[in-house]
Amino acid sequence: MDEARIARRGLGPRLRLAGGWLLLALLAAIFAPLVAPQDPLAQDLMLERLPPFWMNGAEPGYWLGTDSLGRDLLSRLIFGGRVAFVVAFAAAIAACLVGSTLGLIAGYFGGWADRIISRIVDIWMAFPPVLFAILLVAVLGTGLSSVIIAIAVIDWTRFCRVIRAEAMGQTRMDYVENARIAGYGRIGIMLREVLPNVVPSIVALLSLEMGIAVIVEAILSFVNLSISTDDPTWGGIIAEGRLSIHQAWWVLVFPLITLILTVLSFSQFGEALKARFDPVLR
């Protein structure tokens, strides 16, 4: 009990920092046309490789500098956030729905259902995930929906494994047995008695998965397999920044920082939410 309370107190600033960053990035992405200082696609060779605002030679209005085509970096990061968040939410929710449902069924029903689902998970996990993603997108064709599908198809196993183990532990609990005695059907028990107890884990995994989806999307953009339009993506910006690292380090460093902050925030936010959802820790 004490331990829980200590953990709970420690979560305060963590939740606020992570949540704050995510909220800021999300709002910026949603209202990108309003908050971005420049047009993210506008090239201006007169303004190429401007440094960030505190360095000599910076131009007002170009806070984080420009890339080698003279495009405003901050505006590109803000617009890139749109792709990142759409992929994060859509892919993570899809993976969560599929994985959690199968995990719940495997863990709660056991027997044949469990054997079949677990075997599929084992086979799935034998593929290296990033290679799997690249392969899938190559097959599905580039585009936002392919990226989302690829991530969901690969990462549902994360949810499945964890939720299966938790649901399995639940079936040994006396309240599940009590519900059997009372005459509830199996599916009713699964939804009413087991599911509420695995929700905290689902929430934490969901948030973590959003961070992972952001990374995978960035990797796919980096190898030029994500959305094929000119819309900026964080991975795409990183790829461009890598080419001009010696002339303009900021084009590489700022998107990296953005990416890392976002991914870390998702995972921290998930942990904090998990504690929030858990009545014993609350």
Q: Which residues bind another protein (CB under 8 A)?
A: 173-175, 177-178, 180-184, 188, 192-193, 196-197, 199, 278-280
**Least distance between another protein and beta carbon 205 (Å):** 17
Q: Look-up: residue for tokens 């007169």?
A: 46
Min separation Cβ 176 and another protein, Å: 8
Are 118 and 162 within 8 A, CB to CB? Answer: no
| Least distance to another protein, CB of residue 96, Å | 19
Comparing CA positions, the residue from 178, 165, 266, 175 lying closest to residue 214 is 266
278: left (phi over 0), alpha (psi -120 to 50) or beta: beta
Residue type for 171, please? T
Is the Cβ of residue 227 or residue 273 nearer to another protein in the bound state? 273
* Angle at alpha carbon of residue 36, lines to 34 and 39, rounded to 5°: 105
**Shortest distance in whole angstroms from residue 170 CB to another protein:** 9
Residue 244 near residue 203 (C-beta atoms within 8 A): no
Smallest distance, Å, CB 164 to another protein?
18
**What span, in angstroms and rounded, lies between the C-alpha atoms of 43 and 66?**
10
Nearer to another protein, 174 or 230 (CB): 174
Rounded least distance, CB 131 to another protein, Å = 39
Distance linking the first and last C-alpha atoms of the chain: 10
Q: DSSP code of 127?
A: S
Q: Which is nearer to another protein, 52 or 200 (CB)?
A: 200
CB 93 within 8 A of CB 206: yes
Q: Based on CB atoms, which residue is closest to another protein, 148 or 179?
A: 179
| CB nearer another protein, residue 45 or residue 280 | 280
Smaller CB separation from another protein, 127 or 184? 184
Encoded tokens for 107: 């863990």
